[in-house]
Each structure stands twice: as C-alpha cells, then as structure tokens.
Structure 1
Amino acid sequence: MGYISIQINKAKGSADTGASDHIERKTIPKNADPTRTHLNRELVEFPDGVSDRTEAISHRIRTAGIKRKITPDQVRAIRIVLSGTHEDMMKIQDEGRLDEWCDDNLQWLHYTFGKENTVSAVLHMDEHTPHIHATVVPIVTGERRKAKKKQTDGKRSYRKKANTVRLCADDVLTREKLVTYHDSYAKAMEKYGLQRGVRGSEARHTTTAQYYRDLKRQTGELEANVQQLQTEQQQAEQQLDKVRQEVKSEKLEAAKTEAKAAFVAKVGSLFGGGKLKEFEHRNEDLQKRIQELEEEAIQREEQHAKQIQEMKNAYEQQHRKLSEFTDFVKRYFPYVEKLIPTIKFLRDTLNFGDGLIKKLCMFKDVTIKGELYSTEFRQHFKTDGSVCSLIETSDGKFDLKIDGVSHVSWFRRKKYEFMKALGLPKQEQQSKKL
C-alpha cells in the first residue's frame, strides 16, 4: 500500500495572490507541462459574481457574518494539498477512478472544514503526480479557546454568545486537530490503497531548492564513481598484460631448453655423453614449472576477468543511473540545459560568483556593485546597485538583463556615457568604436 500526502499551511495577509497565481496557472512553474495544463480543473463551483480563488476567499469572509474586526495580519485562508504516492496516484488515473478520488476528497473537505468554508479545490494534472490544491477559510463559531480557559480558571469577567462567528485559524489548526485530519483523511483514502504515514515521523517535505541541491550532489557523486571505476579497469588490464608477458617469457625459455636437450641427446647417442640424464631431468622440471605457471596464469586471467566484469557491471550501473538522471532533468527541467551557456558567460566573462549565479538561475533579481567587463569594448564599467535578472527570450534562450535592458544595450549605454564624460563628440565616439 502507498501513503497519503496532505500538506496544510497558513496563508497570511490580506491576499494570497502568489498561491492563487500558481494554483490557477496565471504563472506557469518550470516543473509543469504546458501541454497538460488544460486538464487542470476547479472542483468547487464559485458563487455568483465570484470568478477566482482570491475573490472566493473574500466573498466567504464578507458573507459569513463576522462582526469582529479582522486585522491585516490575520490568517484568511488555509492552503491544503492532497495527493498520494506517485505510483498509486498513477494507478488510480489509469483505472479511470480519478473523478471518484476527487469526489471523495471534496466530501472529506466538506465534512472536515464545512462546505461553505471550502471555497476552492483545484486538480492539477500538469505536474509529476496528480494532486488537489484546496483552500479553506477558517470560519468557526463559539468562544475562543483563551476565553474558555479563563472561564475554567475562574477569571471570566464578561459573557459572550456561544454561537459567535469568528475567523480563527488557530482553532482549526490545533495539534490535536492536525492529527485528526491525517487520521480521517487516511480513512477516506483506504479504498484507493492509501494509508497513513508513521505517526510521529520526523520526515519533512523537501523544498524545490533543496531538491535541486540534492540532484546536483548526486550527479557529482555518480560522475566521481564512474571515473574511479574507469581507473580501476585500466589498472586491472595493465596487470593482466603483465601476467601474459611473464607466461610468454617462460614458454620461450622452455623451448630453448627442449632444443638444447634434443641436441645433447643426439650428441650423447653419438658419443655416449654422461650428461644426457641430467638434461632430461632439467627438462622435466622446466615442463612442470611451465605447467604451474600456465595454471597460475589461467587462474589470474579468470580472476582478472571476473574483476573486470564486476567493474564493468558497476560502471554500467552507474552510467545507467547517470543517464536516467540526465533524461529526468532534460524531461522535467528542460530550461536547465538552456541555462548552461548563460552560466558560462556569467562565470567566465562577467566573473560572477557561484552565489550570484545560483540566485539568477532561480530567476531572482540580484543587485550588484563593482565592475562589469564588456568583451565588446574590452573595458570594465562601474556599477553601484544595478539589478540583474535572467529572462527567457522568444527563441527559448536566456538573456541577462541589467537594469531592465539587455546586457549588450547596458554596456553600450555605459560606453556612451563614458565617452560623453570625456567630452568626445558622438561622431568621434562612433568612429573610435568602429
């Protein structure tokens, strides 16, 4: 049996537009397949006049009958991601039970948090594993937990209505209720072969950034292992060649001895020499030694062949893992390969450090101070707080933007400002440039 996957997070602030853009695909993440985005769908029907998730959150709060003032930092929504083990989710999809799975998830959300509070539930089909992004507005009724505690302690100084409508995520996300959510969700998903994880497990969700770091580390380890196996294979082949040379030398020496023995035998038959027996014994000893060496060589060859085969198998296994990893990256992160030329330019030409390059490759704006080198003008230009970013062009490549313009245009503008500061007229600047 596989396992359920349930992630619950607070959405703080007056709006949760970042999550809404991701959920409703107003911005397409890099790990999503645009050709499958049309399969995503909203499972909750919005009220009249409400067109998206953000409006649905506001509509629920506005119409819930809350009389207490809502502070700017108060939690207005709870984000819940529902899924399961990848293999089990793909099995559910292949068996045509995905709609049934969605209905059961929606029923669990309604039963657990209330139908009115479940303002959105979007099924994502364009990522690696099908999953649901649910949004719950934490509307509760009754007294606050602190007020109940004061009453229990005998410190209650005034009385409030027991059915007061409040917006309170803390009441919804107590430790006891979080455990209950996992238990009840696992119960609802039993029919799909999904079970609850280990109670009290210290396992934590891996962030995207950490996942990329782990992939890079694993790639380095695989490459190092492949190089080590190649070195060991070369050493084994050299040892095998050495053994073969030794056997060849011993056979040559034996051939010489046999020829000498044959010659002595002829001489002995003619002259009756007394050393014939001595040469025969030496010849027999050499033959035995040759046989021993041949057997030893065979054993060594078998041993080396076995070692080489083991190393070859290990190498092929490591190479296969590396190929699978490379295919995985190219399939689900195609932009990585396109970023490589840009990374080389940033590192080798502009001398950017690894920290800056990592931030840029995560498509974050980076502020830099210092000097930037232009290969076009062979000159360094000073900058004090320029903002750099990587933008994907229409042809699928990535261009370095500095202060919102292409780095080529930025350098040319800096060159123009430099020449203008020297008092050179524009025509002279252009002629010198040519």
Structure 2
Amino acid sequence: SAVLHMDEQTPHIHATLVPIVKGERKRKKKEEQVKKRYRKKPTDTARLCADEIMTRAKLKSYQDTYAQAMSGYGLQRGIDGSEAKHITTRQYYRDLVQQTEQLRTDIGQLRDRKETAQEELRRAKKKVQTEKLKGAATTAATNIAESVGSFFGSNKVKTLERENSALHQVVAIHEGTIETLQTKLHTIQADHSRQLLDMQQKHIKELQVRDTEHKKEVSRLTVLLNKTLKWFPQIKGMLNLERLCLAVGFSQEQTAILMMGKSLEYSGELYSEEHKRKFMAKEVKAKVFSDKGKFVLTIDLKPIGDWFKEQFEKLRQGVNIRQSPKQSRLKL
C-alpha cells in the first residue's frame, strides 16, 4: 500500500510493506546453542520476517538507490546521518502561544491605525464642510459686491475674487486629502485582512502538521508500551503494586522507597478497601517482597491483607469487651 499525502507542508508517501521471505532462519544456529526446540519447517516456505529486508543497512540502501533513480525529477536525498531533532510538543505549543500573542498585538496595532485614519478623515470632512460654507458666503458676498461695484469701486471686488479663488483652492486641497486618507484607509484594511488570513492559514497548517506528528508519537509510544508489557510482564504487577501503596495511604516518596525493595518505618493511618476504614499503624515496618514473580506488600513481615484482618479482629474484640458489662447488667 502506498498513500500520497499532499495536504501537509512537505508532500510525502506512506508505504506499507509485508516482508515475506524464503530460506532458513538465521537464528537457527543460535537457537540450537541454547538448546531450545522449534518445529522444523521446509527451508523454501514463505514466512514473515523483517530481519533481512528492514535492517539499518538495507533501509539506508533503499534511500540511496531511490534518490539516484529520482534525481532526474529534482528529488534530493535527505542528509545521511542527520542529527536533526523535532521540537517537543511542549516547545511547539509554547511557540504557538507566543505567535498568537504577537498576532493579537499586530491586530491591535492595525485597529489603532484604522481608528486614527478614520478620525483624520472625520476631521478633514468637517474642515471641508466649514470651508465650503465659507466659500458659499464669499461667493454671495462677491455677487453683492459686483452688483454694487459702482458704489464701492472695483478694487474691493477684485480682492473678494482673489479671496474666493484662494478658498476654492483650499477646498480642492482638502478634498484631495480626503481622497488620500480614504485610499490609505482602504489599503490598511486590505493589508490587515490579508495578514490576518495568512496568519490564520499558517496557524491551521502548523496545527495540522503538529497534530499528525503528535498522533505518530502517541502511536509509537503505545507500540513501545505494549512491547514493554509483553517482554517484561512484571512491570504490570509493579504498576498495580504502586497503585495499592498510594491507595493504602503511603506518599509518593514512601511508595518509591517501597518499590525499590527497601524497608520503610511508618507511623500513621492505613486504609483498607476491604473493611472500608482506616487502621492506626504505630512504628511498623513496611516492605515489598517478590514471590514467584508476584509482588506482595507486607506490614511487619505479614501480607497487608492479613495485617488488616488482624487489626480488624483486635478492634472487634475490643468493642465486645466494652459491651460485655452492659449485657451482664441487662441479664441480672
């Protein structure tokens, strides 16, 4: 099976192989030396075996020969013996938080620039309206002056015309400023939208890549854990013993001492799940023993279950002794 992935940052192919080989097992001689018996099979029988085709040297050879075959298409082989390492998941999310904070800062700055441009545009519009009103008043005054020019002389009329022309020029300048501010505002908005979209797409791609790497790492660790439990079954017993120590009432540090097979002097309360109550332990010695591959937690060299039963029996006898005088009086 070969599956091409084109939806990630680096296109790649996932290939699944079934290593079927024929021939005599290489471990046969070694197995005979340790005197183990195996069912003999014909040497030409097909069987599953990755030892011959998935070795370190073979895998390196596959990469070398594939790179040579694909060199005509521009494919370059990875660095032989590279010591490059992936960043940890914790470091990735730390960097991601920093990028998110930087993105928020950039967005805030763009918003401030947008508000500033809008405020400048409002002031410019207000100023233009004022100038237009002044221009209208000047035009009206010029018309009146022209109608009565004979009474006031032509010099005043020309002065008013010059002022009117100057005011029109100021209005035109402000109108140009408004257009420039509007263009600048549209440019800022477009840049902001584009940057935000680019950052979001980059963020999504990085999340997808990291999520894929995280799933691969989890899968690898799961396989490793399953192999560890299969090869070392006593680990499961040790984990169960650790949970028992913590449930009984030992701390993390005390549990660590017990798990190393060391004795522990203890005074305090110990909880029994069977009796649903706590029992006081005063200057007892706790230790873990291994019995035929099974781990047993002991208190004063007694299995903790027997120790709990003994404490419960003492408690029950003490209660009966306190109740017996009352029962005698009732009988009398």
Structure number with larger C-alpha Rg:
2
Structure with more relative contact order (C-alpha pairs < 8 Å, separation 6 or more):
1
* Structure 1 or 2: more helix by fraction: 2
Name the TM-score class by shorter chain: 0.3 to 0.5
TM-score (norm 2): 0.48
**How does the TM-score come out when normalised to structure 1?**
0.39
